[in-house]
Amino acid sequence: MEDKILLAHGSGGKLSHDLVKQNFLPLFDNAFLNKLDDSAVFELQGRLAFTTDSYVVNPIFFPGGDIGKLAVCGTVNDLSMMGAVPKYLSIGLIIEEGLLMSELKRVMDSMRKAAQEAAVKIVTGDTKVVNKGGADRLFINSSGVGVIPQGVDISGSNARVGDKVILSGSIGDHGIAVISQREGLQFSSSVKSDCAPLNRLVAEMLASGAGIHCMRDPTRGGLASTLNEFASSSNAGIRIYEQSLPVHEGVQAACEMLGFDPLYVANEGKLVAVVAAKVAEKLIDIMHKNKYGKEAAIIGEVVPEHPGRVVMKTRMGASRIVDMLVGEQLPRIC
């Protein structure tokens, strides 16, 4: 029979130590983690960004990624959206008794690859095992620290009238990939999660010296929620154009069939930025050279009308208010 996680793997005894030494240390090998101290000790200079998030996605494996890749990329991206250079991550695992050891190893290897691509180190962590039925296979908490370069000031409250709104690529891929895997749905065009680390793309955007005022990855709640957060925090109106929004054919078809709006579907490898109008085209050119920004487009602008609200010009020329969702359209998506 295939090896499974036992309650004893979370006991702090020999099985716990073997789990860490055999399955975690070889994958995330670095001087900080290898000490197995209660904390990682390191030096950083300058302004810091610190973030934490928890991942409970169901299922834990989906087209284009899994819960491990999601945890690393999500934390890297949250730091990057503040203009920070991600440096170190902490990973906490809550494992349900009975999880196949092969599945845990698959998730860990995915985390290793994502951390390697993002050039970040996983320097500390924790493992807990709960009784069968006490969790849903595997939950992950991840925290991260990054350094903000001098002169960078990015905040959701910095949008100014006349700014342009840039989106790095198609919307809705992650949410539809997860829900289709969860429900066993198949579409004529395959849909894969866009889960990816965006720190190198952000670094290239910042290196241009362009005036980036706001930036965020539109995860839960999708693009609509992120734009509403910008509009509310900045007390400014935002106008977007439906015809400029990139949506893949498979995502559009799935949304029409399921009754979803792509504007509200989660993304895990996209960013939306509010930038000075004079640098918008320059930034688009820079983004197009990065594999995670090939579909980047200007999708709207900040306007003096309707402060605090987001309005979309439809393909028919009408105006539609884009509100924030009251609840959650797709639960357990990250």
Q: Which of 117, 148, 179 finishes a domain?
A: 148
Residue 146: pLDDT band (50, 70, 90) is very high
Q: List Cβ neighbours of 1 (8 Å cut-off, separation of 6 or more).
A: none
Domain boundary among 148, 180, 208: 148
CATH of the domain at 264: 3.90.650.10
Q: Does residue 199 fall inside a structural domain? A: yes
pLDDT for residue 303 = 98
Looking at the 3D structure of the chain, how many domains does it have?
A: 2
Give the chain's mean pLDDT.
96
Contact (Cβ atoms closer than 8 angstroms) between residue 253 and residue 190: no
The CA distance from 3 to 219, in Å, is 35
| Contacts with 60 (C-beta within 8 Å, 6 or more apart), sequence order | 66, 67, 103, 107, 137, 138
Q: How confident is the model at residue 323 (pLDDT cuts 50, 70, 90)?
A: very high
In a domain, 281, yes or no: yes
Tell me, yes or no, whether 138 and 263 share the same domain: no
Same domain for 174 and 296? Answer: yes
Please state the rounded mean pLDDT for residues 119-124. Answer: 98
pLDDT at residue 182, rounded to an integer: 94
pLDDT tens sequence across 247-295: 999 999 999 999 999 999 999 999 999 999 999 999 999 999 999 999 9
CA–CA distances in Å: residue 264 to residues 25, 41, 123, 198, 316: 39, 40, 34, 21, 21
Q: How far is CA 250 from CA 96, 163, 218, 222, 316, in A?
A: 34, 31, 19, 17, 22
Query: Final residue of a domain: which of 148, 179, 203?
Result: 148
Residue 327 falls inside a structural domain: no
pTM of the model: 0.95
- Asked if residue 155 belongs to a domain, the reply is no
Is the same domain home to 34 and 80?
Answer: yes
Say which CATH number the domain at 45 has. 3.30.1330.10
Range of the domain at 73: 7-148
Residues 135 and 216 reside in one and the same domain: no
Cite the beta strand spans of the chain per DSSP E. Answer: 47-55, 61-62, 65-66, 85-96, 121-130, 138-148, 164-167, 212-216, 237-241, 272-275, 297-303, 310-313, 319-321
Do residues 173 and 261 both lie within one domain? Answer: yes
CA separation for the pair 65, 174 (Å, rounded): 9
pLDDT band at 327 (very low <50, low <70, confident <90, very high): confident
Residue 329: band (very low, low, confident or very high) from pLDDT cuts 50, 70, 90: confident
**Are 236 and 118 in the same domain?**
no
For position 128, what pLDDT does the model report?
Answer: 97
CA distance to 107, 145, 160, 197, 223, per residue, from 268 (Å): 17, 19, 26, 9, 11
**214 and 119: one domain?**
no
For residue 148, give Cα distances in angstroms to 48, 95, 116, 121: 6, 34, 20, 17
Distance of CA 150 to the CA centre of its chain: 24
Q: Please indicate, yes or no, whether residues 168 and 143 belong to a single structural domain of this protein.
A: no
Q: Is residue 331 part of a domain?
A: no
Are 109 and 177 part of one and the same domain?
no
Partners of 311 in beta bridges: 239, 321
Do 238 and 317 share a domain, yes or no?
yes
Q: Answer yes or no: is 24 within a domain.
A: yes
177 domain residue, yes or no: yes
Domain annotation covers residue 168: yes
- Say if residue 102 is in the same domain as residue 183: no
Based on the domain organization, do 172 and 143 belong to the same domain?
A: no
- pLDDT of 188 strictly over 90: no
Q: Dihedral of the CA atoms 125, 177, 297, 86 (nearest 10)?
A: 10
List the strands of the sheet with 138-148, edge to edge. Answer: 47-55, 138-148, 85-96, 121-130
